[in-house]
Amino acid sequence: MPPLVKICGLSTPETVDAAIRHGATHIGLVHYEPSPRHVDLATAAALRKRAEGKVKVALLLVNASQQLTGQALATVRPDIIQFHGSETPEWLARVRQLVPAEVWKAVGLKDAGTLDRVAKYHGAADRILFDAPAQALPGGTGTRFDWSLLRGHRHAIDWGIAGGLTPDNIGQAIAETGAPLVDVSSGVESAPGIKDMDKMAAFLKAVASC
């Protein structure tokens, strides 16, 4: 069965509709001001409503305060909250207890040691999203990690891969890692923050043929 696909960093109704039309299972909305994909909470709530019942919606936060996290969750009511900073397992566990959303933790996969360190999130997160290590931004950088690090790894909880995926390399990424979920942002853009519908369609077609 082909993996689940999350198209991340959507910011317009048109791109949300295109992701749904072309077969995405998840979309991501980034609420993080330094990102070129940042959407304010009112926009995120409107996009979330548009996608409701059609795809799962993940809201992304990066080291947000307790107050902002509460406000974001109450306003957007996402299916998933994706923490993309250095949030602690304790914080994730607390959020998970308080809200009905799934909790995902993104982790920059630097080396084999990361796979041991990630164990601290088991029991606190519903899914681990392995991404490239942070650069100027913690995500959405268009860079990939060494997929061979995941070869043969026994995952204790649900997981997925992100980072530098494109319509051209997604087949190889899935073959090498066996990922049950793939996540893309820059690889389906014409410029930072501008999604390209043809690239989105090509990415989803490439995944469907795996």
Ligand X SMILES: O=C(O)c1ccccc1NCC(=O)[C@H](O)[C@H](O)COP(=O)(O)O
- CA dist 34 and 75 (Å) reads 20
Of residues 24, 25, 28, 203, which one binds ligand X by CB under 6 A?
A: 28
What are the two backbone dihedrals, phi and then psi, of residue 120, each rounded to the nearest 5 degrees?
A: -65, -20
Residue nearest to ligand X (CB): 140
- CA dist 210 and 193 (Å) reads 27
Site for ligand X in 48-87 (CB under 6 A): 60, 62, 84
Residue 124 CA neighbour count, 13 Å, CB half: 17
Q: Looking at this protein, which amino acid is placed at residue 198?
A: D
Our finding on whether 174 is near ligand X (CB under 6 A) is no
Of residues 27, 55, 72, 138, which one binds ligand X by CB under 6 A?
A: 138
Partner residues linked to 82 by β-bridges = 60, 104
3-state SS, residue 163: coil
Site for ligand X in 87-126 (CB under 6 A): none
Length of the chain: 210
Whether 86 contacts 62, CB under 8 Å: no
Our finding on whether 196 is near ligand X (CB under 6 A) is no
Give the number of other Cβ atoms within 10 Å of residue 89's Cβ.
15
- CA dist 139 and 159 (Å) reads 16
Cβ proximity to ligand X: between 124 and 182 the closer is: 182
Provide, rounded to whole angstroms, the least separation between the CB of residue 7 and ligand X: 8
Stretch that binds ligand X, among 11-19, 40-48, 69-77, 130-138 (CB under 6 A): 130-138
Our finding on whether 185 is near ligand X (CB under 6 A) is yes
Of residues 3, 78, 160, 163, which one binds ligand X by CB under 6 A?
A: 163
Residue whose structure tokens are 């709530």: 45
Our finding on whether 8 is near ligand X (CB under 6 A) is yes
Provide, rounded to whole angstroms, the least separation between the CB of residue 200 and ligand X: 12
Stretch that binds ligand X, among 70-78, 91-99, 160-168, 194-202 (CB under 6 A): 160-168
Stretch that binds ligand X, among 64-72, 90-98, 115-123, 180-188 (CB under 6 A): 180-188
What are the two backbone dihedrals, phi and then psi, of residue 201, each rounded to the nearest 5 degrees?
A: -60, -40
Residues of this chain that interact with ligand X (CB under 6 A) are 8-9, 28, 30, 32, 35, 37, 60, 62, 84, 131, 137-142, 162-165, 183-187
